[in-house]
Structures are given as structure tokens and as C-alpha cells.
Structure 1
Amino acid sequence: MRQLSELDASFLYLESETTPMHIGGIYLFDASQRAAPLAFSTFVAYLRSRLHVVPVFRQRLKEIPLRLSRPYWIDDPDFSIERHLAYVNLGEYGRKSSLMALASKILEEPLKRDRPLWHITFVDGFRLDDRDDGAEGFALIVKLHHAAIDAFSGEEIIGKLLEYTPEPRAITPPRAWQPRPEPSSERVVLQAGANMLRTPLQLTSLAASAAQATARGLIQKQLRKLPLPLPLFSAPHSPFNRQITANRQIIAASVALPRLKTVKASLGDVTLNDVVLGLCAETLRRYLTAEGADNRKSLVAMTPISVRSKSLRRATGNQMSAMLLDLATDEPNPAQRIRRIHWNAVASEPYREAIAADRLTELLPSTMLALSARLYSELQIAQRYQPVFNLPITNVPGPQVPLYLQGARLVQQYNTAPLFDSMGLVIVAVSYEGKLTLNFTTCPDVVANGESLQAHVDESLHAIEEAVHRLGTEASHDSPTSASSTQTLADDAMTALEGILRKALNRFRA
């Protein structure tokens, strides 16, 4: 039995008919180099032979009576791969537009809870371009529940399922698998009671970490005269932050990764992630302007960050930290905006490192967490108050070498993330084989004219490149991220004060 973390469980509690909480993927394969089209039966046999690399594919949820504690993952004794697969042949309508429309409809449907939380639709009769003689291929539409994976582990799972060479791997018989016995109700109730007894210790630990984070921020404010990270409920109202419906629309645009790296090199002390966020910010600013929306106040993004390298690695689950980031959309110069985004990220980093997202939910028992998540949606709290943030933006580095499935080359992937109450837009940026794809998952009843986002991406990158060219190296010494002797002195002083603080907190824990 492996219990869900509070963060994993929160994605179950937030789910409703209009807010399915799964991560989606649309994978386009070029099968023109195969001697024959890939048959659906061959794909099923291939997937069956690879199930052992993703154990969660054969695990379902075990709920706790009265939600006294979080659910557990247990082996599904009734597992059948056929319950997780579907076949669709687009026929004469096998174009990308038809595929994306089909994917939008499939991704609107929540996953069924009585089985492992994943589903794959095999789409046949698909051509990679709009010509009648275009290259033949197929597509996979994948759904994986956010309670089981985050965007980073989802990318790892796909990498494990696919191949790294164009030569098809021999399909071997599936490994023998025997599900472990389902735990008794008495055992899970006893385990839930034991977990509840540990809650006060978790509360103490979280309070100590929060105190340390706050104190570090105060030290920074005094020594560097920096503003504290954004207070809660300070994000401006935007067209994205309204009550959503069950409808979904997927829009994507790709740019060459070397162009972004050139921008990074030209601006100097920024990261590639800052450039990606700057591209998103410019795209959103142009969209708001085109729609006649007020963009005088800067949008705030929630940016999940993987902490998998800082903790014991698991193949699944959510191992994330998160921070609120001012996107500086009130800055008219897109090159200077990237520098401001970098500075905002640097200023928020102590808070990001201090408290990971999964720890923030440890204060609440499962019954209260489920109730608060439901009330947040049903009482429309997000509509009655200013939002905490305007949209989530996730940047997931992908493989830069081609992937294959039985000799068919993966040529393009699109990724989606769940929407929830008051969040009608989410952006997932994924890089693959020298390209970065910005994936916009929208609720079309909230985000009007969402198709325009695709054109805004290309226009935005051109605008950033022109601004960088005009900027050159001027005012680089005035960049807020440049080091100074005062800051170096501040670092030394802050290090000394942190040592004193750490000793005090250790005595508090003792």
C-alpha cells in the first residue's frame, strides 16, 4: 500500500464534472518509414509488454471510509488493458484540425475511478499535413490523472514507454504479474489512525519552516531593500479568471529552441526558463491588448518547479514546489521584461526553497482538505475575491533526440494541463528535438478567440528579438540582477543572521 500525499489527494478532491484533473498528451507519429502501417493490435501487444516499467498503470485507488485519511494506491486485481484503450479511425477527415478537435472532446471526460487512472486513444487514418498525399501516421491521445503524476514525471513515463532507435524493438510476451492482495478495511482504518497521530508533528515542522522562510524574507528586505514576494489575493482580475465550463480547446504553437537560446545569450544574466516565461508574457500581453482588456496591472503566474532532484526520486506522484511570479506584463519593452522576470524569480527563490507545495497541505486533515476544495469551487470564492494568481505556466524540458514507437518516429507532441475554478487558461511549454511548443489549454467559454494565441506566439518572439537587438548591451550595468559590493556585504550579513536563526529553530524543534 502506498498512500497518496496531500498534494496528490488534493487533485482528487478538486475534480468535478467540469474540472477533470488529468494531464493530457497528444503524440503524432510518422509511420512512413515502416513497411506497413502500425496495426492497433500491434500497439496493444507492445504496450502490454511495457506495462512493467510503469507500475501505476496497474494500480487503482483504495478510498478510506469517511475520508479519515488520504486514499492508497493498491494493485488492481481486475486489471484489464482493454478497459484503458480505444481505437478511432479518422478516415477522410484525418487532418490535424480534426485530431485536435477529437482530443479536446476526449480530454473533457474525467477518468473513471474504479480502475487505474489512465487512458490511451489510438487514432488511425491520420496524415501529418493537410495534403491528400501527406505522410501517413497515427496519433496517441493520452490521459493520466494528476493524482498519479506531475508534468515532469509524465514526461519520464512517456520516455520509458517509447524507444530511442528507429529499429523496432522485438515485442516480447508480457512479464508475469501477480497483484498483491487488497488490504482489509480494518488495516486501512488503523493506518489512517496512525497517520492522524503524526499530524501534530507535521504541524510543528511546517511552522518551523514557515518561520524560517519568513525571517529570511525579512532579512532580505532590510538588507537589500527588496519587496517581499506578492501577497495573497493581489493578482489583478483578468479575462482568464472567470467561472469555467466543461468545454476545452487546445491551441499550440512551436518555435525553434536555438532562437530562444540566442535571446538568452544576448541578455546575459537570465535563464532559458526566464526567456520562455518572457515569451508567454508577451503573448498574453498581445492577446489582452487585442481583446481590449485592461493590461495596466501585471499578471501573476504560478510556476510549478520540480524538486525531484532534491528528494528521494519516485517514478510517479507530484514532487513539486511552486512560486508566484510577477510576469511584468506592465513593462512595454519585452527584453527588459525578461530581465524583470528573472529578478522577480530570484527574489522569490528563498520562499520556493523553504516550503514545497506538498507540505503546505499538511495542515489540513483529508476531510477538511476535501471540503475546502469543494467549497472553493461551489461558493465561487475565486470570483468574489481577487485571484491568488492569473494562470499556471509549466516549463517541462523534453528529450532533444528523436523517439520512436515500433519504427514510427515521434514528430510532434502537445501537452495539456487541467483547468479549475477561475482558471480558464493554463500554459505548458515542452521542448523536444530542437523545438519548444507552447501548449494553451483553454475553456473557450472564458477565453474568447483563443485561436489568436497561436499567431501571437510568433509575433511575440519577433518582438523580443527586435527589442534585444535594440537593447544591445546598453544599461546592462543598470540591470537589477547585476551584483554589487553592497549586495555581497548583504549576503555575508544574511548568512550570519541565518546561522543564528537556524540555531534558534533547532532549539524550537527540540
Structure 2
Amino acid sequence: MRQLSELDASFLYLESETAPMHIGGVYLFDARDRDQPLAFSTFVAYLRSRLHVVPLFRQRLKEIPLGLGRPYWIDDPEFSIERHLAYVNLGDHGKVGSLMGLASRILEEPLKRDRPLWHITFVDGFQLDENDPDSKSFALIVKLHHAAIDAFSGEEIIGKLLEYTPEARIIEPPRPWNPQPEPSEERVILQAGANLLRKPLQVTSLAFNAAEATARGLIQKQMRKLPLPFPLFSAPHSPFNRQITANRQIVSTSLDLSRLKALKATLGNVTLNDVVLGLCAETLHRYLAGHNVKTDRSLVAMTPISVRSSSLRKATGNQMSAMLLDLATNEPNPAKRIHRIHWNAVESEPYREAIAADRLTELLPSTMLALSARLYSELQIAQRYQPVFNLPITNVPGPQVPLYLQGARLVRQFNSAPLFDSLGLVIVAVSYQGSLTVNFTLCPDVVADGESLTGLLEESLSAIESAALTLAPESEEPEYHQDSHKTLTDEALTLMEGAMRKVFQRFRR
């Protein structure tokens, strides 16, 4: 038994019919160098032989009775690989558009909780080159739940399952697997009770601190630890922050990584990640301008940062920090904007004080986090006030050497991330073998004309390259000018302060 962390469990509680919490991937393979097409049965045999490298593939959730604590990961004694696989033949419709349409429909469906939280669809008859009828190969549509992995570990898992050599390995028989027996309800309840005995010590400590300070002072003291360069709920309104539906669309395009590296060298003291963020910022700026949305206030992105160590890794789960980042979309010069993003992301005080997301959730139980998120959605806080941030942007470095599956080369991949209520757009950028693929996961009922984002991305890169050639050196660092208007944070603090003062007055009596 291995209990989920608060952060991992929060992705279970946040899931709804319109917001499935899994990470998706569409992987395109070129099998033309094989003597014969890769059969689905061969793929199944290959995957069976590799299950031992990814233990989470044979682990399912064990809920605690009465909801007394977070679920556990346990071995699934009834594991059957067939329950996690599907086969689709595109036939005469084996084009990229048909494949992405199929992927969108598959990714709309939540994973079933009564089994390990993953699923792979083997797509046969996919045509790599639309002008070459003989280029039919195959693709994989993969779903992995966010409670088990983050974007960084998801890419790592795919690397473990695939091969680094074009020669197809002999498929060996699967290694023997002896699952641990499922724990009894009594043991689970006892374990939950032991965990609850430890929590009162934390609650007592927090209550003691609260008695020593005013309510507002305590809350602001905790909030100052967060990596926030500006108040919560102060991001501008945008078309992306509206109520989502279950519909999904993946819009992707690939860029030559060498162009981005050359741009980094031209700009000087910036990172490749800054360039990627600046490219996304310029694309969003152009999208908003094209839809007559004011761009006088800068968009705010949530950017996860991996805290994985090569010497100490958890078996599964999310190992991330996260910070809110000003994208400087109100800066008209797209090259100068990258310098500002670099300062916001690397040199600013909030970045240096950033703390891991799993430490944040220790102060707020995952069930309370989920309830807060549901209220955030149901009360339409993003529409009534202002959102915490406008969208997540994740940049995942992938392998720069080719990967293979039984002699078929992985030529391209598309990645999707879960959408959240009032967050209708997520950007995931993944590099692989000299290319950067920028993936926009969006709700088409919220983000209109999503297909235009690919063209805007190309235009943005050209515009940044041109602006970088004439950019003058930065003379001074930017300063934040916080808005003076009252935010939801101020109102919430005032209400909480009054309530806590009443409680303390009763104890004093």
C-alpha cells in the first residue's frame, strides 16, 4: 500500500464529466522499414514484455471507507492488459485530420476507476505522407491519469516503453508477476486511523500560531511564501477563462528547434524556456488582437517546474513546483518581451522563494482543494472577479535521439493536458529529435477559431526573429505596478478575519 500525496489525490477529486484529469499523447510511427506491418497482436505481446518497467500499469486505486483519507495505490490482482487496449483501423480515412479527430473523441472520455488508470488505442492504417498511399503505418493514442504522473514523468514513461535501436528486439516472455494481496477493509481503516492521529498535531500547531497573531496577519504571512509576484485573482479577463464543456480539440504544429536556439543566442541572457514562453505569449497576443480583445493588461500563466531528481525518484506521482508568471503580453516588442519573461521567471524574488506544490497542499487537504475548485467553477468566480491565472504553459524537454517500437521509428508526437473549469486552453510544448511541437489543448466551445493558432505561431516566430535583430540592450529591470482595485482576495481575507476574531474572542472568555 502506497498512499497518494495530497497533490496526486487532488487530481482525482477535481475530475468531473466535463473535465477528465488525464494526460494524453498521440504518437505517430513510421513502419516502412519493417519487412511487414506491425500487427496489433505483436504490439500487445511487446507491451506485455515491458510491463515490469512501469509498475503503475498494474496498480489501481484502493479507496478508504467513509472517505477517511486519501486513496492508496495497490497491486491489481485482477489485472488484464486487454482491458486497457483498443484497436482501430482508419481504412481509407488514414489522414492526420482523421487521426486527431479520433484522438479528441477518445481523450474526452474519463478513465475508469475500477482498474489501473491508463489506456492505449492502437490505430492501424495511418498514412504518414498524405501524398504517398504506401506510407501507411500506425499510431498510438495514450491516456495516463494525472494522479499517477505529471507531464515530465509521462514523457519519461514513454521513453522506457520504447527502444533506442532500429533493430526490432526479440520479444521475450513477460516476467513473472506476483501481485501483493489486496489489503482488507480493516487494515485500510486502521492505516487511515493512524494517519488521522498524526494530523491533530499539525492542526494544534496551526491553531496555536493563529492565536498568537491576527487572522489577516497569519494568512498574509502564509501567502507571502507563495511564488506570486501579484495578488491572487488579479489576472485579466480573457476568452480562455469561461465555463468549459466536454468537447476537446488538439491543435499542434512543429518548429525547427535550431531556430529557437539561434534566437536564444541572438537575445543573449535568456534561456531556451524563456524563448518558448515568449513564443507562446506572442501567439496569444496576436490571437487576442485578432478577436478584438484588449491586450493592455498582461496575461498570467501557471508554469510547472519539475523537481525530479535522477538519484531520488518516486515510483509515480507529481513531483513539481509551480509558479505564476507574468507573460508581459502588454509589451509591444516581442523580442523585448522575452527579456522581461526571463526576469519574471528567473531573477524575480517570487521565483527564488518558490516552494514545491506538494508542500502547499500539505496546508490544504486535497478534499478541501477540490471543494474550493468546484465552488470556483459553480460560483463563476473567474467571470465575476478575475482568474488566478489565464492558462497553464508547460515546456517538456524530450529525447533528441530517435525512438523506435519494434523497428518502427517514432516520427512525431502530439501531447494534451487536462482542461479545468474556467480554463479552456492549455499549452504543452515538447521537443523531440530537433523539433519543438507546440500543442494547444482547447475546448472549442470556449476558444473559437482554434485552428488559427498554428499559423499565428509561425508568424510569431518570424516576428520575434526580426525584432531580435534590432533590439537594444536592456537598461534596467522591469517593475511591477500592482492594480489598486479590490480583488476577491481582499474580500475573502476580510470575511475570514472577522470570523476568526469571533472564535478567538469566545476562547478568551
> 1:236: which partner in 2?
236
> 2:190: which partner in 1?
190
Give the whole-Å Cα distance in 2 for the aligned partners of 1:202 and 1:373: 24
The 1:370/1:233 distance shift into structure 2, 3 A limit, reads closer
Give the whole-Å Cα distance in 2 for the aligned partners of 1:430 and 1:124: 24
Q: Secondary structure at the match of 2:305?
A: strand
Give the whole-Å Cα distance in 1 for the aligned partners of 2:377 and 2:219: 29
- Asked whether 1:170 is paired with 2:170, we answer yes
- Asked whether 1:432 is paired with 2:432, we answer yes
> 2:69: which partner in 1?
69
Give the whole-Å Cα distance in 1 for the aligned partners of 2:24 and 2:89: 20
Aligned-pair CA distance for 1:342: 0.6
The 1:233/1:38 distance shift into structure 2, 3 A limit, reads same
The CA deviation string for residues 376-401 of structure 1, in whole angstroms up to 9 with x for no partner, is 33333333321000000000000000
Matches within 5 A, 1:174-323: 174-200=174-200, 214=224, 229-309=229-309, 312-323=312-323
Give the whole-Å Cα distance in 2 for the aligned partners of 1:287 and 1:84: 38
Give the counterpart of 1:475 among 473, 476, 486.
Answer: 473
The 1:349/1:436 distance shift into structure 2, 3 A limit, reads farther
> 1:486: which partner in 2?
none
The 1:376/1:310 distance shift into structure 2, 3 A limit, reads farther
The 1:311/1:162 distance shift into structure 2, 3 A limit, reads closer
> 1:25: which partner in 2?
25
Matches within 5 A, 1:45-84: 45-84=45-84
The 1:75/1:353 distance shift into structure 2, 3 A limit, reads farther
AA matched with 1:480? E
Matches within 5 A, 1:291-370: 291-309=291-309, 312-348=312-348, 350-351=350-351, 353-370=353-370
The CA deviation string for residues 363-386 of structure 1, in whole angstroms up to 9 with x for no partner, is 234543443343333333333321
Give the whole-Å Cα distance in 2 for the aligned partners of 1:88 and 1:216: 46
- RMSD value, Cα: 2.2
Indicate if the aligned counterparts of 2:107 and 2:143 stay in contact, CA closer than 8 A.
yes
Give the whole-Å Cα distance in 1 for the aligned partners of 2:451 and 2:334: 22
TM-score computed with the length of structure 1 as normaliser: 0.88
The CA deviation string for residues 33-71 of structure 1, in whole angstroms up to 9 with x for no partner, is 000000000000000000000000000000112221100
The 1:419/1:348 distance shift into structure 2, 3 A limit, reads farther
Aligned-pair CA distance for 1:129: 2.2
Aligned-pair CA distance for 1:130: 1.6
Indicate if the aligned counterparts of 1:210 and 1:354 stay in contact, CA closer than 8 A.
no
> 1:496: which partner in 2?
none
Give the whole-Å Cα distance in 1 for the aligned partners of 2:349 and 2:258: 27
Q: Secondary structure at the match of 1:281?
A: helix
- Structure 1 segments (4+ residues) deviating >4 Å: 200-213, 347-354
Aligned-pair CA distance for 1:255: 0.6
> 2:95: which partner in 1?
95
> 2:11: which partner in 1?
11
AA matched with 2:249? Q
Indicate if the aligned counterparts of 1:209 and 1:354 stay in contact, CA closer than 8 A.
no
Q: Secondary structure at the match of 1:309?
A: coil
AA matched with 1:245? T
Aligned-pair CA distance for 1:311: 8.3
Aligned-pair CA distance for 1:288: 0.7
Indicate if the aligned counterparts of 2:226 and 2:353 stay in contact, CA closer than 8 A.
no
Report the more deviating stretch, 314-323 or 391-400.
314-323
Indicate if the aligned counterparts of 2:162 and 2:403 stay in contact, CA closer than 8 A.
yes
Give the whole-Å Cα distance in 2 for the aligned partners of 1:168 and 1:479: 56
The CA deviation string for residues 269-296 of structure 1, in whole angstroms up to 9 with x for no partner, is 1111000000000000111111111111
> 2:481: which partner in 1?
none
The 1:350/1:201 distance shift into structure 2, 3 A limit, reads farther
Instruction: Point out where structure 1 has 5 or more consecutive residues left out of the alignment.
Output: 218-227, 482-510
Indicate if the aligned counterparts of 1:321 and 1:356 stay in contact, CA closer than 8 A.
yes
> 1:488: which partner in 2?
none
> 2:375: which partner in 1?
375
Aligned-pair CA distance for 1:133: 2.4
Indicate if the aligned counterparts of 1:323 and 1:348 stay in contact, CA closer than 8 A.
no
Give the whole-Å Cα distance in 2 for the aligned partners of 1:216 and 1:457: 32
Give the whole-Å Cα distance in 1 for the aligned partners of 2:23 and 2:429: 13
The CA deviation string for residues 214-252 of structure 1, in whole angstroms up to 9 with x for no partner, is 4899xxxxxxxxxx7121001000000000000000000
Q: Secondary structure at the match of 1:165?
A: coil
The CA deviation string for residues 321-350 of structure 1, in whole angstroms up to 9 with x for no partner, is 000000000001000000000111124465
AA matched with 1:253? T
Give the whole-Å Cα distance in 2 for the aligned partners of 1:202 and 1:394: 33
Give the whole-Å Cα distance in 1 for the aligned partners of 2:306 and 2:206: 21
AA matched with 2:477? P
- Tell me the percent identity: 78
AA matched with 2:473? A
Aligned-pair CA distance for 1:198: 2.6
Aligned-pair CA distance for 1:439: 0.2
AA matched with 2:320? M
The CA deviation string for residues 64-94 of structure 1, in whole angstroms up to 9 with x for no partner, is 1222110000011110000000000000000
Report the more deviating stretch, 7-16 or 201-210.
201-210
Indicate if the aligned counterparts of 2:345 and 2:351 stay in contact, CA closer than 8 A.
no
> 1:151: which partner in 2?
151
The CA deviation string for residues 20-40 of structure 1, in whole angstroms up to 9 with x for no partner, is 000000000000000000000
The 1:210/1:258 distance shift into structure 2, 3 A limit, reads farther
Indicate if the aligned counterparts of 1:69 and 1:365 stay in contact, CA closer than 8 A.
no
> 1:491: which partner in 2?
none
> 1:484: which partner in 2?
none
Give the whole-Å Cα distance in 2 for the aligned partners of 1:312 and 1:377: 37
Give the whole-Å Cα distance in 1 for the aligned partners of 2:219 and 2:73: 29
Q: Secondary structure at the match of 1:287?
A: helix
Equivalent pairs counted in the alignment come to 468
> 1:85: which partner in 2?
85
The CA deviation string for residues 116-162 of structure 1, in whole angstroms up to 9 with x for no partner, is 00000000001112224252210000000000000000011000000
Q: Secondary structure at the match of 1:419?
A: coil
The 1:184/1:462 distance shift into structure 2, 3 A limit, reads same
Matches within 5 A, 1:436-451: 436-451=436-451
Indicate if the aligned counterparts of 2:13 and 2:367 stay in contact, CA closer than 8 A.
no
Indicate if the aligned counterparts of 1:213 and 1:354 stay in contact, CA closer than 8 A.
no
AA matched with 2:270? V
Indicate if the aligned counterparts of 2:7 and 2:357 stay in contact, CA closer than 8 A.
yes
The 1:338/1:191 distance shift into structure 2, 3 A limit, reads same
Aligned-pair CA distance for 1:179: 1.0
Instruction: Point out where structure 2 has 5 or more consecutive residues left out of the alignment.
Output: 210-217, 479-509
AA matched with 1:376? Y
